[in-house]
Amino acid sequence: MKLLHTIIIILIILLSGCGRNKENLNEKASVSTLDKLSENPLLLSPITFSINPSKATMSTLYGNKIAFQHAKTKADSSYPEGAVLYEVTWKQKADSLWYGANIPDQIISIEKVQFTRNTVPKYELYGGHPLKKVSSNNQNARIALIISKRIAVTP
């Protein structure tokens, strides 16, 4: 009986030790290899972010080097050729660690705006799980909205 107690106590100590090293990643809110994207937009530079309370979503606007440099230095929508913007939109969920906050849940869409030699930038919409290219019936309005966003200001 005593042996059993000792074993149980040792197990409890071991298990609680394992618990401490559990990593705290928001896996569900991330991009996966199965998503049909040519790059991981989450690894680009964040420009600004926005919230849509009526849809309970939150979006972060990312840019590649060229786009980020433009956003940092110019307050206009005329991104140069080679600039790529991604508007990544997540469903929100309540933050289990802070009542009063929402954090990203699953990604519901990724929009890519790519500036080429043409006057109209190239627009791609990715949706579904895994994310794959889908058609958009609202392309021009979405481009206009995305390129109108300005960098979040810091001193």
Partner 1 sequence: MKKGLKIFAILLAAFIALQFWKPEEIEYSIPTKDLHNVPAEVNTILRNSCFDCHSSTVNLAWFDKITPANFIVASHITDGRKALNFSDWDKLEKPKQNATLFYAFNKILSGEMPIKSYAALHPNAKLDDRSISVLKNYLTTIAVRKPNQEVPPAAAKDVEKVILNKKITDYSKVKPTLNNISYIPDFRNWKAVSTSDRFDNGSMRIIYGNEIAVKAIAEHQTNPWPDGTILAKTAWKQKTEVDGTISAGAFIQVEFMIKDAKKYEATKGWGWARWKGNDLKPYGDSANFDQECISCHNPVKNNDYVFTAPLHLDINKFNIYNKTK
Q: Which is nearer to partner 1, 23 or 137 (CB)?
A: 23
Tell me which stretch binds partner 1 (CB under 8 A): 6-14, 50-58, 76-84, 116-124.
Answer: 50-58
Nearest-approach distance from CB 79 to partner 1, in angstroms: 18
Q: Does 84 bind partner 1 (CB under 8 A)?
A: no
Q: Which is nearer to partner 1, 58 or 83 (CB)?
A: 58
Give the 3-state secondary structure of 45-77: EEEEEEEECCCCEEEEEEECHHHHHHHHHCCCC
Burial class (CB in 10 A: 0-12, 13-18, 19+), 43: exposed
Q: Does 53 bind partner 1 (CB under 8 A)?
A: yes
Longest distance between any two alpha carbons in the chain, whole Å: 81
Dig out the tokens for 68 from the structure: 């980020």
Of positions 11, 56, 134, 144, contacts partner 1 by CB under 8 A: 56
